[in-house]
């Protein structure tokens, strides 16, 4: 196989995978490859995979098959394929054996991607799913150009071992990146055009520096970077929500009033079986403290319906919790048994039609609350960070502090912060108007 000249990265799954995908693209660019004008015709395709729910693995195999078939149809040579991300970590050599891909690289080893690609070009399949003590971050090239909103991974891995979840196995133990490395990268991102940075981690609020200072210390430091207008962070665990971080929501102006705090279930029996190590009550008390610090905060959550043994009454407890919190937005999923996790072997797996029904009812409640949250924002004046052009002429799209999509008509550049009045709400977005204007 000849050495690839062009590449494309396709990322699935969470925002941390999006971040990793960007870093892999930067690595390959630094190695002399160029992004393919048409990703479907790239010489090297990196599939940056997710393992969190069912069929992820099968999807990777079918993607690989399709890439090869499409190339054959065009009479072109099949692209070199690199499988990265959490399926790569979970399946490892099995992918090389089954799909004969050229490279398999895990989420903690992708700094070795250029070397693995070179090895593959020389005819030898490359596999690296190590989780080295010496982290990949020190081996990645500097950030160059980014959009107005950028991701920055500050923490990786998970020690919580919820019984349904693969993340502790695919991403390894909880590790915090060093304070200095994060601040340097944040400055580089701002120099490269970012106005908003979202700090990422599987348990981002478990981040701490060498002296045990928490995420609030990092946020207060980043707040002082000139040109950085907004800071966000995700995903947090209820048990790691320290008071310092809650206080930062009260006093740090650039910290946006938004908190994604997954709870998964409103039943204490189910939470225990999930090994969540919090109760509905302790979760609600965290929410109360957060709201006391920042009354307008938008709350978001993750939910799983149909965990093994979940009864109708336990599911009703989840609906009750949703009603008590009033989420601005949320993600909800049907439980998916993951190979190697304790819950996959539990008795009383829930029938698919019961899960479907519960998911529908939960989503109806969450949609109702999201619409209510959006409707309640009408009449507020707020800043919108312009992220891109809209479909209509003169239309621009951006985000409110509460992470709502806002469209407006105006002559703005991407990256501008524009003060608008929110004048109309839909279920998924709002309309903003420059104060003083008659029509949007
Ligand atoms: N670390 C974060 C999120 C991890 S994965 C946290 O603990 O909150 C993102 C979401 O995927 C989880 O919050 C959970 O709702 C969902 N998820 C994880 N494993 C799942 C599984 N086996 N089946 C269904 N949903 C799952
Ligand atoms: Fe998975 Fe639980 Fe860790 Fe979140 S806290 S990544 S759900 S094991
Ligand atoms: Fe998926 Fe891995 Fe993220 S399993 S959700 S890509 S941590």
**Burial 192-219, CB ≥16 within 10 A → b, else e:** ebbbbbbbbbbbbbbbbbeeeebbbbbb
Ligand 1, atom 18, residue with closest C-alpha: 165
Domain CATH number, residue 34 = 3.40.50.12160
* Top mutation candidate among 239, 262, 263, 310 for ligand 1, by most atoms within 8 Å of CB: 262
Q: Per-residue pLDDT for 440 more than 50? A: no
pLDDT (tens digit per residue) in 38-68: 988 999 999 999 999 988 888 899 999 999 9
User: Does residue 134 lie within any of the structural domains?
Assistant: no
User: Do 273 and 362 sit in the same domain of this protein?
Assistant: yes
Q: Per-residue pLDDT for 436 more than 70? A: no
User: Do 307 and 182 sit in the same domain of this protein?
Assistant: yes
Q: Which ligand is nearest to the CA of 14?
A: 3
What's the chain's length in residues? Answer: 440
Confidence of residue 439 (pLDDT cuts 50, 70, 90): very low
Provide mean pLDDT across the span 364-389: 97
Q: Are the CB atoms for 146 and 189 separated by under 8 Å?
A: yes
Provide mean pLDDT across the span 204-230: 97
Partner residues linked to 45 by β-bridges: 8, 81
Q: Per-residue pLDDT for 170 more than 60? A: yes
User: Do 46 and 107 sit in the same domain of this protein?
Assistant: yes
Give the pTM: 0.95
The CA distances from residue 380 to 233, 385, 436, in Å, are: 24, 16, 14
The pLDDT of residue 1 is 74
Task: Give the whole-angstrom CA distance, residue 32 versus residue 214.
Answer: 39
User: Do 280 and 388 sit in the same domain of this protein?
Assistant: no
CB-based pocket (< 6 A), ligand 3: 13-14, 16-17, 50-52, 85-86, 166-167, 170-171
User: Do 361 and 277 sit in the same domain of this protein?
Assistant: yes
Per the prediction, the chain carries an average pLDDT of 95
User: Structurally, how many domains does the chain consist of?
Assistant: 3
Q: Which ligand is nearest to the CA of 90?
A: 3
Task: Give the whole-angstrom CA distance, residue 362 versus residue 343.
Answer: 22
Provide mean pLDDT across the span 233-260: 98
The pLDDT of residue 433 is 94
pLDDT (tens digit per residue) in 290-347: 999 999 999 999 999 999 999 999 999 999 999 999 999 999 999 999 999 999 999 9
User: Do 340 and 392 sit in the same domain of this protein?
Assistant: no
Its domain, for residue 398, covers 381-433
Q: Per-residue pLDDT for 438 more than 90? A: no
Domain CATH number, residue 293 = 3.80.30.20
User: Do 61 and 165 sit in the same domain of this protein?
Assistant: no
User: Does residue 438 lie within any of the structural domains?
Assistant: no
């Amino acid at each position: 196989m000849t050495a690839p000249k062009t590449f494309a990265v396709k990322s699935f799954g969470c925002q941390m995978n999006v971040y990793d995908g960007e870093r892999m693209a930067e690595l390959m660019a630094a190695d002399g490859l160029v992004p393919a004008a048409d990703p479907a015709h790239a010489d090297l395709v990196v599939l940056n995979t997710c393992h969190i729910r069912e069929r992820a693995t099968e999807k990777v195999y079918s993607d690989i098959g399709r890439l090869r078939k499409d190339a054959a149809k065009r009479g072109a040579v099949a692209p070199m394929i690199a499988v990265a991300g959490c399926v790569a970590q979970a399946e490892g050599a099995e992918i090389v054996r089954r799909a004969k891909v050229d490279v398999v690289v895990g989420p903690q080893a992708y700094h070795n991607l250029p070397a693995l690609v070179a090895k593959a070009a020389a005819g030898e399949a490359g596999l690296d799913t190590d989780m080295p003590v010496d982290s990949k971050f020190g081996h990645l090239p500097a950030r160059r150009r980014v959009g107005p909103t950028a991701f920055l991974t500050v923490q990786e891995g998970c020690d919580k071992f919820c019984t349904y979840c693969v993340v502790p196995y695919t991403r390894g133990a909880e590790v915090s990146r060093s304070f200095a490395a994060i601040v340097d990268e944040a400055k580089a991102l701002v120099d490269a055009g970012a106005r908003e940075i979202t700090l990422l981690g599987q348990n981002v609020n478990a981040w701490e520096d060498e002296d045990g200072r928490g995420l609030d210390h990092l946020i207060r430091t980043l707040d002082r970077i000139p040109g950085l207008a907004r800071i966000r962070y995700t995903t947090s665990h209820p048990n790691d929500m320290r008071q310092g971080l809650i206080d930062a929501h009260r006093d740090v102006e650039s910290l946006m009033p938004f908190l994604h705090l997954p709870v998964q279930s409103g039943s204490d029996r189910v939470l225990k079986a999930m090994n969540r190590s919090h109760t509905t009550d302790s979760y609600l008390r965290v929410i109360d403290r957060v709201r006391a610090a920042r009354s307008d905060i938008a709350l978001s959550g993750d939910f799983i319906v149909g965990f093994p043994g979940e009864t109708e009454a336990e599911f009703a407890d989840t609906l009750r919790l949703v009603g008590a919190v009033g989420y601005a937005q949320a993600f909800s999923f049907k439980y998916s048994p993951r190979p190697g996790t304790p819950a996959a072997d539990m008795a009383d797996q829930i029938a698919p039609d019961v899960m479907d029904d519960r998911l529908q009812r939960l989503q109806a409640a969450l949609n109702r609350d999201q619409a209510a949250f959006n409707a309640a924002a009408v009449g507020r004046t707020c800043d919108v960070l312009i992220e891109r052009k809209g479909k209509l002429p003169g239309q621009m799209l951006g985000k409110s502090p509460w992470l709502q999509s806002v469209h407006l008509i105006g002559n703005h550049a991407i990256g501008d912060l524009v003060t608008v009045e929110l004048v109309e709400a839909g279920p998924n977005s709002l309309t903003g108007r420059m104060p003083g204007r008659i029509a949007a």
